[in-house]
Amino acid sequence: MQEPNYMRKRVVITGMGALTPIGYTHTDFWAAVRRGKCGVAPITSYDASKQAVKLAAEVRFDTETLVPERDARKMDRFTLLAVIAAREALADSGIDAGNTDLTRAGVLIASGIGGLTTIAREHARGEERGYDRVSPFFIPMSIANMAAGRVAIESGFLGSCSCVVTACSGGTHAVGEGMRAIRHGYADVMLCGGAEACVSPLAVGGFTSMKALYEGRDPARASVPFDKERRGFVLGEGAGMLMLEELGHAKARGARIYAELVGFGDSCDAYHITAPDPSADGAARALANAIRDAGLTPADIGYINAHGTSTPLNDKCETLAIHRVFGEETQVPVSSTKSMTGHLLGAAGAVEAIVCVNAVREGFLPPNINLREPDPECRLNIITGRGENAGVRYALSDSLGFGGHNGAVVFAKYDEEAFL
């Protein structure tokens, strides 16, 4: 029996997959980010005429071209999106049974809400026909771990298979915990990410009743992180997947390496079920922990992909967290790509990790689109316009979730000679 190696191993990204409101592959997604494309539009997946919220960031993609109907009807949409994005990441990485011990290949996929759409549909069916007539696939379709389970079945990965459910920080936690599994010798490969698909009357109604969503009609003013006029987030859907791999394993098989994952930090506010701690202590500790874990200082970070939900409380508290770690006068470039994608909940951190990977790889920092009137309470160096070309070495992404869950990850431009 192989004993775990507790020496810190280097972890790199060798594959990516994305299915988002602005791009249906990871390359198309990044191209859309570079263009500053807005994915917010009127809801099409159901009739929203009787609800206050009319806008969302949907994935308008014919999934039947990739997953036959006979298989798709046995999956909730969040699982379906996860499977498609994971297939892309797997193919992109070149991992297979010929170059990898699949007993040391794991899956870790987050979802904040899981199969809520299936739950609502089957409840309605039970009320109408009797509860013994609900779908026999109801339970496996609705449970949040099924995205990870389906991806493991498709990939043949036989190592650890788990699901992170930490609300809107889930995708970041999945990527960070996957890194830890490889770093400490429990796995050679981890397929990590998040998936969410709950643009539905019940989810939209729930968020509306708690005054969390934007209720206006203008897509260009809907998701506007750090803007003085922000009035709530826009619900989005999608999936993001990253293939994490131990550096020596990747080099041995001649893999293409996109970037290096060098730090992960997390914390809990232990404060409130939905509101962030106004002191921003927990969020600040997550940022500081990730930077410390990477062996860096705040001055080393060249870009922050902020959680930036476009809610009054989040953006203000996140600004305070950044100031506490980086200093009141920090000029580190910041943007929230939720201005383009809306808020993908448990998938957000994984999709935004892909943004950071590309930022350090290509030296481009994406804009915070549609920012018109910066909030003086969010005094940060927000990237606007068409983005910035900047050769940054380290990028940080942070996520903050209901329940006080905080997470942050740090990515580095890959340098074969750098040992952190």
Report how far residue 31's alpha carbon sits from residue 290's, in angstroms, rounded to the nearest whole number. 28
- The dihedral through the CA atoms of 142, 176, 93, 25 has a sign that is positive
Handedness of CA 289, 293, 295, 296 (dihedral sign): negative
Q: Of residues 26, 173, 343, 405, which has the active-site annotation? A: 343
Q: Domain 265-412 belongs to what architecture?
A: 3-Layer(aba) Sandwich (3.40)
pLDDT single digits (tens) 227-236: 999 999 999 9
Compute mean pLDDT per 10 residues along the chain, 420 residues long, and list them: 59 98 98 98 97 98 86 95 98 98 98 97 97 96 98 98 98 98 98 98 98 98 98 98 98 98 98 96 98 98 98 98 98 98 98 98 98 97 97 97 98 75
Query: Is-catalytic flag, 307?
Result: yes
- Whether the CB-CB separation of 107 and 157 falls below 8 Å is answered with yes
According to the model, what pLDDT value does residue 5 have? 43
Phi and psi angles of residue 304, each rounded to the nearest 5 degrees, phi first: -120, 120
Predicted pLDDT of residue 8: 85
Active-site choice (38, 161, 163, 168):
168
Residues with Cβ < 8 Å from 131, sequence gap 6 or more?
Answer: none
Do the first three CATH levels of 11-252 and 265-412 match, i.e. the same topology? yes
| Residue 272 falls in the annotated catalytic set | no
Distance CA 169, CA 191 (A): 17
- Which pLDDT belongs to residue 1? 34
Closest CA to 400 of 355, 339, 338, 356: 338
Tokens of 248: 């020596």
Q: Residue 252's closest CA among 395, 146, 142, 101? A: 101
The distance from CA 30 to its chain's CA centroid, rounded to whole angstroms, is: 14
Q: Which of 26, 307, 356, 405 is catalytic?
A: 307
List the domain boundaries for the chain. Answer: 11-252, 265-412
Retrieve residue 337's tokens. Answer: 């790509």
Q: What is the pLDDT of residues 220-279, one digit of tens each?
A: 999 999 999 999 999 999 999 999 999 999 999 999 999 999 999 999 999 999 999 999
Closest CA to 383 of 303, 290, 269, 280: 303
d(CA 248, CA 98): 16
> Domain spanning 11-252: which superfamily?
Thiolase/Chalcone synthase (3.40.47.10)
Tokens encoding 26 = 């990871």
Other CB atoms within a 10 A radius of the CB of residue 266 amount to: 22
> What pLDDT score was predicted for residue 417?
63
Q: Is 249 a catalytic residue?
A: no
- How big is the chain, counted in residues? 420
Strands 394-401 and 405-412: antiparallel
